[in-house]
Amino acid sequence: MIKRMIEVGYPAPRFDAKAKVTGEEKFAIDYSREGMLWAGARRAGVAHAIIRKIDISKAAALPGVYAVLTRKDVPGTNRQGIVHKDQPVLAGSRVRHCGDAVALVLAEDRDVLEKALGLIAVELEPLAGVFDPEEAMRSEAPLVHESGNLLHKAVIRVGDARGAFEECDVVVEDSLEVSAQEPAFLETQNGLAWQEPDGRITMIVSTQAPFRDRFEIAHALGLDVEAIRIVSPCLGGGFGGKDGATVQCLLALAALRARGRPVKMRWGREESFTAGYKRHPVRMRYRVGAMRDGTLHAVSCRLIYDTGPYAHLGVEVMALGMEHACGPYRVPNTLVEGWCVYTNNPISGAMRGFGVCQASFGIETMMDQLASKLGLSPLDIRLKNGLRRGDTNGAGVTLVHSTGIVACLEGLGVHRLWKDRAKWKSEAGPQKKRGVGIAAVSNAMGYGRGLPDSAIARVELTKEGKIRIYSGVPDMGQGNSSGFIQIAGQTLGQDDSHLEIIQPDTDLAHPSGSSSAGRTTYTYGNALIPACEDMKEKLLHRASLLLMLDQPCGLVLLPGKVKHLPSGREVPFELLGRMFSQTDRIAVKHFVMPVAQDNPDSAKEFRLGFPHVLFSYAAHLVYVEVDELTGKIDVKDYLALTDGGRVINPACFDQQVHGAVAQGLGYGLMEKVLTERGKILNPNFTNYIIPTSMDVPDITSVCVETVESTGPFGMKGIGEVGTNAPLPAVAAAVEDAIGRRLRRSPLTAASVLGALSGRGAAR
Amino acid sequence: MKISFTLNGKQTGVDVSADRKVVEVLREELMLTGTKEGCGAGECGACTILVDGRARLSCLMTAAQIEGRSITTIEGLSQNGGGMHPVQEAFIENGAVQCGFCTPGMVLSAVDLLDKNSDPTREQIREGLSGNLCRCSGYVKIVDAVEAAALQIRREKAR
């Protein structure tokens, strides 16, 4: 094995890269076991109905079918959900969206499974559905749940926005709308589970939240949390869509029935679209007021989140969106109102950007309109209002941590792509219009107040003398595992040949929360450092005993050994590994993320997830070229400046920025989940188009290094912030090119042509 | 039906139904799980393999179609001559690997691309890889890696 330099700050190749380029890396989907059954769900196929009868007799009689289960076979509450337990594992009396599972089949192979699913006769009595969140709020609307269609209403109030508008020199108003986005990870939802002879369930599953999954399964199926073991190999992408149970409850139910036989469940791509969680569609109404010099004075907005038939993390997504509704700006008077509404549309839930993507389009559009009305440049108005440490943000939280938005914007202002923009625009060819747009965004880190954002790191000196990290948070591709190797290597003075990492296994690691919320590396890394320091102290002390030193002085950790520098004597880790007792070889430490200490006198409706105190920031710039004949928008160049504190691995940092921009461009330009009466019309990659290598330009990623003194080696999470800026930046660039503002995403060629011909969303 | 073909340089036989998808034969009969399936409909490229040296989608091929052919999967790419293929090395060194689920297919498409054009422009690389979806990377570092691999392969040939 090549010994790699893995110092913090060095762009070391990811430790998992070799296994992934050779095909050795095993994802959940790659696991199989002798005697394995296949499980599959029969989906409702209609958006809203009463279930009259489910006839499983033909399916159950098919040779090769092991079992067919329906609602009556579900022990426990039959209710899954992360915070709100409102989603049935198997729907028994009522269907609330097309993806509801009404029966579960276990079969000897996949051909039989498919045949059996088709033989289940589901008798449904259709109900009128509700597919528009505003209609859903009317009193006469069909009810998705008996408790009403309004899942949650909340208000954030700072100062006196209503009164403050009277004092403004200019006020701009607008309505905007964003559609759902599919996470579209390449590895669809899947897992393998079996019941152990002692009755426990073991599940290898593609999940972002192994520890929480146990609670979700236990609650739904009436099991003991301790009776469930979740193993989480590297994910083939997650992006929020694997945060919360996907296959987990169905698979555990199947395993309970399979009498020790392993069961595999894999959602096909269409099922992944139909039953999976998407980014919330949001309707926004904004009003923003400023003084003549561009100083923001008041923001009011109304945000309506369509969460589909089940909450998933809808309330928390809305909370974060509302918290960011005033952008990374100083606004003394704000009134942010939000409604999270049930409909019979596909389920909305967590997705990278977590409510902030949508609100960023809102506030950034308003900032451009203000700038244009006041004759200011879009950069100047943002610089003027950009948050600085010590300011109070639009949610009433005092910023006492690293706050780098002004540094990002200043960096943008001196970059050649900003300085050369006029020249580049003037060089557009015939029938082409060019434009340049910018956006400034932030994204909070962590769970926010009300839910401790905690991790417990476990490090072990193995018998072979390796330092082993038991990760408690999955690696869905963002590279947190590599970050952990670097953090441990730095703390213990090791190269990568003496370090190994075990992906999360709830029997081996300690509860450390989910891989989400820009908190994965920050929180676990902050627990890992003291765990490694504890291990270091042990190694030095035990080596000093072996060396018969009166005082443990002059000892250092070198790769694979302890060395006594004054005498030159060495103790290899192998020796210590053999010598350590089982209890001694382990170091465990925890960390809890700081939360806001202010007590804003509003938004009390949010029990958890509001407010936050740590934020990453970014400023993006985009060059677009619009074809006047076809309306096609081509992204020609892209610049992203990101404040993520100190960087642990610059290569992984750029990976995250590039990927976030690409997903943001997909969101902005092409991705739209088309539905008709709640049924997805494009549940596949043939018709739901995500960016290919032809659609994403080269991206310049600039790291604006602040120091986050609470972060591991000064870092902050940056996985999400980059997805928030592409849509508003592209919309601004398109307006710069064609003189029309598009207010509804995605910004398709058809919408450009509509705007050019004076119809639709023209200014 | 008995199917005989060369798999990663070795003569191989399997007894499967003639219409079984090649991706399933590889993953489920031969336990070569390096070949991934992302959509099952020929849209994402994750299941790309080399058939007689050319990139093909194994989710759109049936077992009968590989009778007598030479198949290279990601597992076999690194076996040729022992070390890793320059494309694999370049993917590691250039940070072209994130979640890694698209990686085997992406690497094999790149191998095919460089076999046909040893000195592609970035635009040609983007075009050559446009059938392989990646949801993590934004493709920038993948294009960097293929550029670097092309240079390395040309250097090796010149030697």
Say yes or no: B61 and B12 in one domain: yes
Question: A685 vs B41: CB contact, 8 Å cut-off?
Answer: yes
Dig out the tokens for A483 from the structure: 């970050």
Rounded to an integer, the average pLDDT of B22-38 is 98
Task: Answer whether residue B47 shows pLDDT above 50.
Answer: yes
E strand map for A234-366: 263-266, 282-290, 296-308, 333-342
Residue A3: the pLDDT is 67
Say yes or no: B7 and B69 in one domain: yes
Q: How far apart are the first and last CA of chain A?
A: 61
- Candidates A717, A708, A755; CA nearest to A734 is A755
Question: B134 vs A186: CB contact, 8 Å cut-off?
Answer: yes
Residue A66: the pLDDT is 98
Among partner residues A29, A236, A658, which is closest to B99 by beta-carbon distance? A236
Among partner residues B34, B46, B137, which is closest to A655 by beta-carbon distance? B137
Contacts A19 to B, Cβ<8 Å = 100
Q: DSSP letters of A200-265? A: -EEEEE--S-HHHHHHHHHHHHT--GGGEEEE----S--TTTTSS-SSHHHHHHHHHHTTT--EEE
Residue A599: the pLDDT is 85
CA distance A622 to A436: 6
Rounded to an integer, the average pLDDT of A525-554 is 96
> Which residues share a beta bridge with A67?
A106
Q: How far is B47 from chain A (nearest CA, A)?
A: 11
Among partner residues B31, B93, B135, which is closest to A184 by beta-carbon distance? B135
Task: Answer whether residue A759 shows pLDDT above 90.
Answer: no
Among partner residues B41, B103, B107, which is closest to A269 by beta-carbon distance? B41
Model confidence over A329-366: pLDDT tens digits? 999 999 999 999 999 999 999 999 999 999 999 999 99
Q: How far is B54 from chain A (nearest CA, A)?
A: 18
Per DSSP, helices labelled H in A675-744 are 726-738
Rounded to an integer, the average pLDDT of A245-266 is 98
Rounded to an integer, the average pLDDT of B77-99 is 90
Say yes or no: B99 and B151 in one domain: yes
Q: How far apart are the first and last CA of chain B?
A: 46
Question: B34 vs A32: CB contact, 8 Å cut-off?
Answer: no
Rounded to an integer, the average pLDDT of A647-669 is 98
**In this structure, are residues A276 and A87 in contact, taking their beta carbons and an 8 Å threshold?**
no
Rounded to an integer, the average pLDDT of A612-641 is 98
Q: To probe the interface with B, which of A2, A693, A718 has the most B CB atoms within 10 Å? A: A693
Asked if residue B107 is part of any domain, the answer here is yes
CA distance A248 to B103: 26
Task: Answer whether residue A737 shows pLDDT above 80.
Answer: yes
Say yes or no: B30 and B91 in one domain: no
Dig out the tokens for B105 from the structure: 């297919």
Task: Answer whether residue A761 shows pLDDT above 90.
Answer: no
Tell me the pLDDT band of A103, cut-offs 50, 70 and 90. Answer: very high
Residue intervals of chain A classified under CATH 3.30.365.10 are: 17-26+454-592, 282-448+598-756
Tell me the pLDDT band of B52, cut-offs 50, 70 and 90. Answer: very high
- Candidates A219, A258, A200, A207; CA nearest to A33 is A258
Instruction: Describe chain B by its helix, strand, coil percentages, rounded to 5.
Output: 40, 15, 45
Task: Answer whether residue A42 shows pLDDT above 80.
Answer: yes
Contacts A26 to B, Cβ<8 Å = 33
CA distance A637 to A696: 9
SS3 call for B70: strand
**Rounded percentage of chain A residues whose pLDDT exceeds 90:** 97
- Candidates A358, A370, A349; CA nearest to A239 is A349
Sign of CA dihedral A616, A622, A628, A629: negative
Contacts A660 to B, Cβ<8 Å = 138
Residue A763: the pLDDT is 41
The class of domain A34-127+189-266 in CATH terms is alpha beta
Say yes or no: B106 and B69 in one domain: no
Q: How far is B38 from chain A (nearest CA, A)?
A: 5
Asked if residue B134 is part of any domain, the answer here is yes
- Chain B residue with CA closest to A658: the answer is B138
Strands A633-643 and A699-703, by their bridges, are parallel
If you search the block for the tokens 């290569």, which residue do you land on? A651
Burial class (CB in 10 A: 0-12, 13-18, 19+), A551: exposed
Asked if residue B80 is part of any domain, the answer here is no
Q: DSSP letters of A532-562? A: HHHHHHHHHHHHHHHTT-SS--SEEEETTEE
* Fold of the A282-448+598-756 domain: Aldehyde Oxidoreductase; domain 4 (3.30.365)
SS3 call for A489: helix
Question: A234 vs B99: CB contact, 8 Å cut-off?
Answer: yes
Among partner residues A239, A476, A655, which is closest to B95 by beta-carbon distance? A655
Among partner residues A183, A479, A694, which is closest to B98 by beta-carbon distance? A479
CA distance A93 to A74: 13
Question: B92 vs A30: CB contact, 8 Å cut-off?
Answer: no
Residue intervals of chain A classified under CATH 3.90.1170.50 are: 34-127+189-266
Question: A17 vs B97: CB contact, 8 Å cut-off?
Answer: yes
Tell me the pLDDT band of A4, cut-offs 50, 70 and 90. Answer: confident
Among partner residues A234, A694, A698, which is closest to B140 by beta-carbon distance? A698
Question: B101 vs A186: CB contact, 8 Å cut-off?
Answer: yes
Say yes or no: B66 and B113 in one domain: no
Tell me the pLDDT band of A5, cut-offs 50, 70 and 90. Answer: confident
Say yes or no: B24 and B67 in one domain: yes
Edge-to-edge strands, sheet with A190-195: A65-69, A101-107, A37-43, A263-266, A190-195, A201-205, A228-231
Among B51, B73, B95, residue at a domain's last position:
B73
Residue B141's CATH number: 1.10.150.120
**Rounded percentage of chain A residues whose pLDDT exceeds 70:** 99
Question: B104 vs A661: CB contact, 8 Å cut-off?
Answer: no
Secondary structure (H, E, C), A70-121: CHHHCCCCCEECCCCCCEECCCCCEECCCCCEEEEEEECCHHHHHHHHHHCE
> Which residues share a beta bridge with A501?
A469
Asked if residue B125 is part of any domain, the answer here is yes
Among the ranges given (A48-62, A659-673, A747-761), the one the predictor scored with the smallest mean pLDDT = A747-761
Question: A22 vs B127: CB contact, 8 Å cut-off?
Answer: no
Tell me the pLDDT band of B56, cut-offs 50, 70 and 90. Answer: very high
Among partner residues B35, B93, B135, which is closest to A185 by beta-carbon distance? B135
Asked if residue B79 is part of any domain, the answer here is no
Number of CB pairs < 8 Å for A and B? Answer: 171
Model confidence over A484-525: pLDDT tens digits? 999 999 999 999 999 999 999 999 999 999 999 999 999 999
Rounded to the nearest integer, the mean pLDDT of chain B is 96
Say whether the peptide bond before residue A611 is cis (omega within 30 degrees of 0): yes
- What is the rounded (10 degree) CA torsion for A757, A758, A759, A761? 120
Say yes or no: B65 and B100 in one domain: no
Burial class (CB in 10 A: 0-12, 13-18, 19+), B45: buried
Residue B78: the pLDDT is 81
Contacts A478 to B, Cβ<8 Å = 98
Question: Residue B46 is part of which domain span?
Answer: 2-73
Asked if residue B66 is part of any domain, the answer here is yes
Q: DSSP letters of A436-468? A: EEEEEEEEE-SS-TTS--EEEEEEEE-TTS-EE
Question: A29 vs B36: CB contact, 8 Å cut-off?
Answer: yes
Model confidence over A268-305: pLDDT tens digits? 999 999 999 999 999 999 999 999 999 999 999 999 99
Q: Please report which helix (H) or strand (E) contains residue A642, including its range.
A: strand A633-643
Amino acid occupying residue A139: S
Task: Answer whether residue A2 shows pLDDT above 90.
Answer: no
**In this structure, are residues A330 and A621 in contact, taking their beta carbons and an 8 Å threshold?**
no
Q: To probe the interface with A, which of B99, B127, B132 has the most A CB atoms within 10 Å? A: B99
Among partner residues B41, B100, B135, which is closest to A684 by beta-carbon distance? B41
Which of the 8 DSSP states describes residue B76? H
Question: B84 vs A27: CB contact, 8 Å cut-off?
Answer: no
Edge-to-edge strands, sheet with A569-572: A555-558, A561-564, A569-572
Model confidence over A364-395: pLDDT tens digits? 999 999 999 999 999 999 999 999 999 999 99
Question: B135 vs A14: CB contact, 8 Å cut-off?
Answer: no
Tell me the pLDDT band of A165, cut-offs 50, 70 and 90. Answer: very high
Q: How far is A252 from chain B (nearest CA, A)?
A: 23
Among partner residues B74, B92, B132, which is closest to A18 by beta-carbon distance? B92
Model confidence over A87-96: pLDDT tens digits? 999 999 999 9
CA distance A219 to A477: 29
- Chain A residue with CA closest to B133: the answer is A692
Task: Answer whether residue A28 shows pLDDT above 80.
Answer: yes
Rounded to an integer, the average pLDDT of A156-176 is 98
Contacts A16 to B, Cβ<8 Å = 97, 100
Contacts A112 to B, Cβ<8 Å = none
Per the structure, how many domains does chain B have? 2
Residue B30's CATH number: 3.10.20.30
Strands A37-43 and A263-266, by their bridges, are parallel
Asked if residue B92 is part of any domain, the answer here is yes
Tell me the pLDDT band of B80, cut-offs 50, 70 and 90. Answer: low
Say yes or no: B133 and B96 in one domain: yes
CA distance A581 to A583: 6
CA distance A513 to A615: 19
Contacts B40 to A, Cβ<8 Å = 268-269
CA distance A121 to A49: 15
**In this structure, are residues A147 and A336 in contact, taking their beta carbons and an 8 Å threshold?**
no
Question: B74 vs A686: CB contact, 8 Å cut-off?
Answer: no
Question: B43 vs A684: CB contact, 8 Å cut-off?
Answer: yes
Amino acid occupying residue A633: I
Say yes or no: B38 and B91 in one domain: no
* Fold of the A17-26+454-592 domain: Aldehyde Oxidoreductase; domain 4 (3.30.365)
Asked if residue B153 is part of any domain, the answer here is yes
- Candidates A463, A459, A458; CA nearest to A573 is A463
- Chain B residue with CA closest to A17: the answer is B92
